[in-house]
Amino acid sequence: MSSNVSVSLTKSKYRKPVSLLNQSKYLKRLKRLKKTILTILVLAVLTVLLHLLFPLPAEPEWSTIIKDNKGSVVHAYLTSDQKWRMKTELEEISPLLQKAIIEKEDRYFFYHPGINPLAVARAAWNNLLHLKRTSGASTITMQVARAMEPGSRSWLKKIGEAFRALQLEWTYSKKEILQLYLNLVPYGGNIEGVKSASVLYFQKNPDHLSLAEILALSVIPNRPNSLVMGKHNDRIIMERNKWLQRFRSSGIFSEISIRDALDEPLTAFRHPAPQLIPHLSYKLKKSGRPSYQTYIDLNTQLKAEKLVADYIRPLRYQQIRNAAVIVLDNKTAQVISYIGSADFNDVSDGGQVNGAAAIRQPGSTLKPLVYGLAIDAGQLTPKTILSDVATNYEGYAPENFDRQFNGAVSMEYALDHSLNIPAVRTLAKLGKDVLIDKLSGIGFEQIKIDRNKLGLSMVLGGCGTGLEELTGLFSSFARQGEYRPLIYNREDSSAVSKKLVSSAAAFMLNQVLSKVNRPDFPLSWQSTEKMPRIAWKTGTSYGRRDAWSIGYNQRYTIGVWVGNFSGEGATSLSGAETATPLLFRLFNSIDYDTEQDWFTQPSECDIRKVCATSGLPPGEYCESLITDYFIPLVSGGQPCEHSREVFLSADGNHSYCMQCLPASGYKKERFPLLDPSLLRWMEERKISYKKVPAHNPDCEQIFREGAPAILFPRNGTDYLMEKTNPEPLLLQCQAASDVLRVHWYINDRYYKSAAAKERVFFQPEPGPVKISCTDDKGRNRDIRIQVQYFGQ
């Protein structure tokens, strides 16, 4: 029993110390864990604090690049620090490029957190073993950190790079870090990034590089001074092939790929940076983005540039030195060719001026829109008769290009002959604000700015527009009246379209503007040359400073401007003879087969019979009928009244009104009912027409109505006259058809008697002037003007 007690006491004696020992170990472990957690927390807080205090440097400035519709770089600009640093987009990093670079530079790139501990240990052991630096441990992420903050190498710098690498891994995805590496790696001289190197050395995008080309580029950053592309290609091939043999050993590429790469020659050298489409490139560069994907078709652009340069060369002898062209895809509104001058490098004639964006006088190019708006307002159809006669709007008297009048003309004749007076009369009836609002609404900026200064003359070119705006305007007619802003690059694709004119009005304009038998068809166009099937309109600005020709078919709209950037006019410059031949040649080059498709008549456009004399729906007495397009429920439906019934005496020598019509002894006869201004024009040119006989001289009504209308001067107008060489003022009236003579009075004093159609001139006194005109029936009209003299 004592033995059992002894054993029990022994167990009891040692049980308590063992328990205390375990508890002590537990406390030590707990304390160590707390320290570890605290250390981790401190390090985490410290890291976050350092991250906030020392944020990653911002991305560097990129070279602005302009790409064509296939994504090839066609123009590039140096950065402000004179570097070629073109940004490689993620989609341009091909699987081949990614695989080759990662295998060469950092095969565990996708697995480490920015620092590769195994690589660090291996580099430390090798360096210690050889007592010198034999290998490095920099990951791709650390190389990015070094490129973002270049400087001398040191252990402190290495620690900073490691921290920056961690920051990069926290901030960016692996793909984005690889993108940064490919954008910042140096390739000798002022070339940075794989895109700059591939464009300047191989003239292609990085996603089109072969395995041999990728490795040829990848060896340059290690020895940029001794491996210069174009000078040391043999050395580059040797270095490239070493890596290809390593890749063969590792088996990451197929044997055939390695063999092809080893056999591929290297003839690359540094090419000049691409400098194509310079005017559009500079226009886009001002927006501030690093990259612009345009819709320029390079083949079309180069053909158009050559055509323009060849066309302008002989015109220089006529003092015509420049041209601008825009080619537009009508379906998408994308600009596929953009030429701002005949030769960008010609500094003697302002070749760097962008004529496509310059504000110039548009000549007659706005006339189609005016007529289209009038069609939609129900005021006109193509066969509507307009008066092309002397017209005056409060002192503004428009003239035709040839300074002749044509009398009664149809709207389609007025448009395809580009007559000025019918266009002004149409705009006056429509209202100039309607035209200004339409143009302002589709981006005609100068018209928006000048809207309070503009008048009826804007339809003849009395305003400021540009080739970009006019080309976009005419493309609307090819798109059933729908306007879309010009799209220069992918970022412009969200532009909203607007309805400019109805599809019916656009179709009517297309039919008129596609006629070939018209005065503005170029006489210089050879009969042996193919005539493209297009609709087009020409324009010539005041002083022959600008020649325009803008044409379109279903596929394309082409705008052409020819002139001098100095504003100097040329006697031979005109839209028909100078700009249109170039337009035709461009269409023949870009879209030779234009006969297949043409504009079809829309459902909202119909055909009706109209009177040939007035262009209105036929009345009871209309004998000659023709067909005309019209818009149901929109176009005017008032029947034609081009003639009126007149009561005549039995001998036909006098006419009667209802006030003096006798009970018997009279007859009825119809006479043409013409506009008074048209009648006057016919009288002046001695054009015979069926005249209403003189009114019954015994009628009392005649003395109460029908006083002569004073045409010139205009009532209520202020006239400024030069003292040293004053010009006399014209006195002219419009009297009834039976009036033979009129009598003029100035300030209630008799001045002169003259024939009713005769022009009379007088020299007014300064101050208010009252002018009176009395016809031979005693009817009188008064007006008042203000005269002021200036000068010595």
Give backbone dihedrals phi and psi of 476, rounded to 5 degrees, phi first: -65, -35
Sheet strands side by side (includes 749-755): 718-722, 780-790, 767-775, 741-746, 749-755
First to last CA, the chain: 154
- Residue 750: the pLDDT is 86
- Residue 216: the pLDDT is 94
CA 265/CA 212 separation, integer angstroms: 9
Share of the chain above pLDDT 70, in %: 92
Select the more confidently predicted residue: 604 or 759.
604
The H helix count followed by the E strand count for the chain is: 21, 27
Neighbours of 398 (CB within 10 A): 21
Residue 84: which pLDDT band, with cuts at 50, 70 and 90?
A: very high
pLDDT above 80 for 606: yes
| Long-range CB pairs of 456-459, under 8 A, 24+ apart, other chains included | 456/393, 456/396, 456/398, 456/424, 456/427, 456/428, 456/432, 457/396, 457/398, 457/424, 458/366, 458/427, 458/432, 459/364, 459/366, 459/367, 459/370, 459/423, 459/424, 459/426, 459/427, 459/435
DSSP assignment string, 591-643: ----SS--PPPPTT-EEEEEETTTSSSP-TT---EEEEEE-TTTS--PPP--E
Select the more confidently predicted residue: 782 or 155.
782
Reduce the DSSP state of residue 536 to 3 states and report it.
strand
Asked if 469 is an active-site residue, the reply is no
Asked if 364 is an active-site residue, the reply is yes
Select the more confidently predicted residue: 169 or 467.
467
Give the alpha-carbon dihedral of 116, 120, 123, 124, to 10 degrees: -170
- Residue 10: the pLDDT is 45
Select the more confidently predicted residue: 47 or 604.
604
Which region among 15-29, 273-287, 601-615 has the lowest average model confidence (pLDDT)? 15-29
Q: Is residue 619 a contact partner of residue 329, using CB atoms and an 8 Å limit?
A: no
Per-residue model confidence as pLDDT tens digits over 729-751? 999 888 877 777 889 999 988 89
**Beta bridge pairs of residue 788:** 720
**Type of residue found at 110:** F
Per-residue model confidence as pLDDT tens digits over 198-250? 999 999 999 999 999 999 999 999 888 899 999 999 999 999 999 999 999 88
Return the exposure string of 219-255: e unless at least 16 CB atoms fall within 10 Å of the residue's CB, then b.
Answer: bbbeeeeebbbeebbeebbebbbebbeebbeeeebee
- Residue 134: the pLDDT is 46
Select the more confidently predicted residue: 151 or 459.
459
pLDDT above 50 for 2: no
CA 746/CA 237 separation, integer angstroms: 101
Sheet strands side by side (includes 535-540): 334-339, 322-329, 556-563, 546-552, 535-540
The per-residue pLDDT of the chain, averaged, comes to: 88
> What's the whole-number mean pLDDT along residues 542-565?
96
Instruction: Tell me if the bond preceding 676 is cis, omega within 30° of 0.
Output: no
CA 273/CA 191 separation, integer angstroms: 11
Per-residue model confidence as pLDDT tens digits over 469-514? 999 999 999 999 999 999 999 888 667 899 999 999 999 999 999 9
Give backbone dihedrals phi and psi of 347, rounded to 5 degrees, phi first: -75, -20
Catalytic option among 89, 94, 105, 264: 105
Q: Which value, in Å, is the radius of gyration of the alpha carbons in the chain?
A: 43
Reduce the DSSP state of residue 668 to 3 states and report it.
strand
Residue 7: which pLDDT band, with cuts at 50, 70 and 90?
A: very low
- Residue 13: the pLDDT is 45
pLDDT above 70 for 719: yes
> What's the whole-number mean pLDDT along residues 402-419?
94
pLDDT above 60 for 8: no
Angle at 415 between CA 413 and CA 417, to 5 degrees: 65
Angle at 477 between CA 476 and CA 478, to 5 degrees: 90
pLDDT above 60 for 539: yes
In terms of Cα–Cα distance, which of 364, 362, 342, 366 is closest to 354? 342
Q: Does this model's pTM top 0.95? A: no
The sign of the dihedral angle between the CA atoms of 136, 141, 145, 150 is: positive
Q: 228: which 2 tokens?
A: 């210069």
CA 428/CA 430 separation, integer angstroms: 6
Q: Is residue 338 a contact partner of residue 296, using CB atoms and an 8 Å limit?
A: yes
- Residue 310: the pLDDT is 96
CA 623/CA 628 separation, integer angstroms: 16
Q: Is residue 641 a contact partner of residue 664, using CB atoms and an 8 Å limit?
A: no
In terms of Cα–Cα distance, which of 409, 425, 306 is closest to 371? 425
Select the more confidently predicted residue: 2 or 89.
89
> What's the whole-number mean pLDDT along residues 418-441?
96
CA 621/CA 640 separation, integer angstroms: 9
Per-residue model confidence as pLDDT tens digits over 91-134? 999 999 999 999 998 888 998 888 877 766 665 666 555 555 54
pLDDT above 70 for 51: no
CA 713/CA 715 separation, integer angstroms: 6
Which region among 78-87, 156-165, 403-412, 664-673 has the lowest average model confidence (pLDDT)? 156-165
Catalytic option among 364, 574, 643, 677: 364
CA 377/CA 394 separation, integer angstroms: 25
